[in-house]
Amino acid sequence: MKTDKVLIFDTTLRDGEQAAGTSLNGQEKLDIARQLEKLGVDIIEAGFPITSQGDFDAVRLIAKEIRNSTICALSHANDEAIDRAWEAVKPAKKGMIHIFLSTSGVHLTHQLKKSQEDVLKMAKKSVAHAKKYTDNIEFSPMDATRTDTKFLYRIIEAVIDAGATTVNIPDTVGYSIPSEFGKLIEGIFKNVPNISKARISVHCHNDLGLAVANSLEAVRKGARQIECTVNGIGERAGNAAMEEIVMALKTRNDLYQVTTNIDSSQIFKTSRMVSDLTGFIVQQNKAVVGANAFRHQSGIHQDGIIKKANTYEIMNPREVGVPASALVLGKVSGRHAFKERLIEMGYSLDEEALNHAFKSFKELADKKRKITDRDIQSLIGEEIRTTSEVYHLDHVGVSCGNHSMPTATVRLVGPNKELVADAALGTGPVDAVYKAINRIVRVRNVLTEFTVSSITEGIDALGEVLIRIESDGITYTGRGADTDIIVASAKAYMNALNRLLNARKATAQGAE
């Protein structure tokens, strides 16, 4: 089934969430799904419903609201998991079931402890069962790149006969290299008699750093669906990065001669949202969406860019939603100019959120001489992070030094809008702040990660703090930004605690 259109199957909410240290609640998943729909993603793999009630509820929530993208649920190759997957995606305008089953020798011998014939029967039976619910069925022979090719051809033919309309070829452990992966895809087209009845998809992992290269080579050989994640997040070293695939196909259309339905101007915004909500910082030199992707320090490069941008830029930054011009707003700028700049950057806030963001902007402008677009993006991230607060950080003060005991005073706005204050001593100012907050909020947790980074350059730069806390075996991520790193640390901790409290509240309501 060859066309000039490549479908983008985004699995940020399923495989992406499997990245160690990630935890998203249902509302956060829905927010990302809304942005993926706006981005133009064809298929959103929203979760794995059989694994937990929370995952089931999140998939169902997304299926009820998202109308333009197909909503997919992952399933084991058994009736119970398939039934659960369908129950979750049934409300979707366009629902899809994705069944996976190991096929490689190492998996069959050591994990499934089944023969090839056993697995063949399981595959056909599971697809036939899903066929009772929908014609939109994808089947994945897991660890396909380490599977005997003759058996792979047999199982692909069998599941297509049983009703699969998409066959996905996963490089589950990131083992393949482009030349052999391309030959594998080519071999499937040549040796599976009924392959014209299904779409070939690929799902590549990045253990050797080749996920994007393998995916693109598969497109050259005829694959017309790529499974990927925003920022390349996922199990172990992650998945093929959606933004890199889309922009490679767009920039090198002379070579690939295919298109996607992606609105590339939404890429940067989507990347930032996923980074904010998952807590995974995008590396500075990350292709397409990294902070340095469109920045030039070399004098030779700067000279070329000034004379003609494409001397050293193969993509227009505006194509991916990165404003090319420097921000010219300052402390004398008005609300209207601020709003227009947000619109230009791709943000649309309601009146209340805009007022709050503008207030934060003016406060920042009093502290910083020069405000950049990345400062604005951080402010908007703060706005997103404070929309579902149980406790709000109202005041934080510290006293510390090399010959004094670090002391912190904290005042929070509680659930009933009451002001609650307390103080504590600590081994350092941040420790003191966190202990003071704990005296008020009283939620048991363990701090497992604390990272500080600078959003922009200069002594007055915004500092961003990323933390992870663990409670009852679940990890919660928090982020905060401020020109004062102690305040940023307090904001990050409050962000994580609020996510913890909201998750417990949602669990309690579900139990009722």
**Residue 20 domain boundaries:** 7-278
Provide the β-strand partners of residue 241.
229
- Does residue 360 have a pLDDT over 50? yes
pLDDT at 487 over 90: yes
β-pairing, 225-228 vs 392-401, is unpaired
* Contacts for 165 with CB less than 8 Å, ≥ 6 apart: 135, 136, 137, 138, 197, 198, 199
Question: Is residue 332 pLDDT above 80, yes or no?
Answer: no
Dihedral angle sign, alpha carbons of residues 121, 124, 127, 128? negative
Return the SS3 of 285. Answer: coil
CB contact at 8 A, 97 and 134? yes
Q: Is the pTM of this model over 0.85?
A: no
Token output for 336: 């209207």
The verdict on residue 1 lying in a domain is no
Handedness of CA 6, 12, 18, 20 (dihedral sign): positive
**CATH at 120:** 3.20.20.70
| CATH classification at residue 434 | 3.30.160.270
Same domain, 381 and 399: no
Does the pLDDT of residue 510 top 70, yes or no? no
491 has pLDDT over 60: yes
Question: Do the Cβ atoms of 436 and 408 come closer than 8 Å?
Answer: yes
Under 8 Å CB-to-CB from 176, ≥6 apart: which residues? 145, 184, 204, 210, 214
The pair of three-digit structure tokens given for residue 47, joined into one six-digit string? 């979760």
262 and 410, same domain (yes or no): no
pLDDT at 418: 94
Domain boundary (385, 401, 416) is at 385
Is 434 within a domain?
yes
Phi-psi domain of 131 (left: phi exceeds 0; alpha: psi -120 through 50; beta: other):
alpha
Which pLDDT value is given to residue 3? Answer: 60
**What's residue 153's pLDDT?**
98
CA within 13 Å, CB half, 94: 12
For the chain, the average pLDDT equals 90
Q: Answer with the one of 369, 385, 401 that is the final residue of a domain.
A: 385
In a domain, 118, yes or no: yes
pLDDT tens track for 257-278: 999 999 999 999 999 899 988 9
2 in any annotated domain: no
Note whether 245 and 337 are same-domain residues. Answer: no
Q: Could you tell me if residue 174 is inside a domain?
A: yes
For residues 312 and 340, membership in a common domain is answered with no
Percent of the chain exceeding pLDDT 90 equals 68
Report pLDDT for 292.
78
Domain count along the chain: 4
Please indicate, yes or no, if residue 283 is contained in any of the structural domains.
Answer: no
Segment 82-92 mean pLDDT: 98
Q: Are residues 84 and 220 in the same domain?
A: yes
Asked whether residue 298 falls in the same domain as residue 265, the answer is no
Q: Is 285 part of any domain? A: no
Q: Provide the pLDDT for residue 369.
A: 65
List residues bridging with 378 in a β-sheet: none
- pLDDT at position 331 over 80: no
Query: In terms of domains, do 190 and 315 share one?
Result: no
- Which of 336, 367, 385 corresponds to the end of one domain? 385
The helix/strand/coil state of 195 is helix
Name the region of 259 (left: φ>0; alpha: ψ -120 to 50; beta: rest). Answer: beta
How far apart, in whole angstroms, are the C-alpha atoms of residue 490 and residue 454?
16
Query: What secondary structure letter does DSSP report for 196?
Result: G
153 shares its domain with 170: yes
Alpha helices in 51-168 (DSSP H): 53-65, 79-89, 105-107, 116-131, 149-162
Residue pLDDT, tens place only, 170-181 = 999 999 999 999
Confidence of residue 328 (pLDDT cuts 50, 70, 90): low
Q: In the prediction, which pLDDT does 383 show? A: 65
175 and 211 in a single domain? The answer is yes
Rounded to whole angstroms, what are the CA distances from 160 to 3, 18, 196? 19, 29, 10
Residue 460 resides in a domain: yes
Residues 167, 24 share a domain: yes
Q: What does the pLDDT average to over 119-133?
A: 98
Same domain, residue pair 192 and 213: yes
User: Is residue 25 domain-shared with residue 152, that is, in the same domain?
Assistant: yes
The predicted pLDDT at position 378 comes to 72
pLDDT computed for residue 326 by the predictor: 46
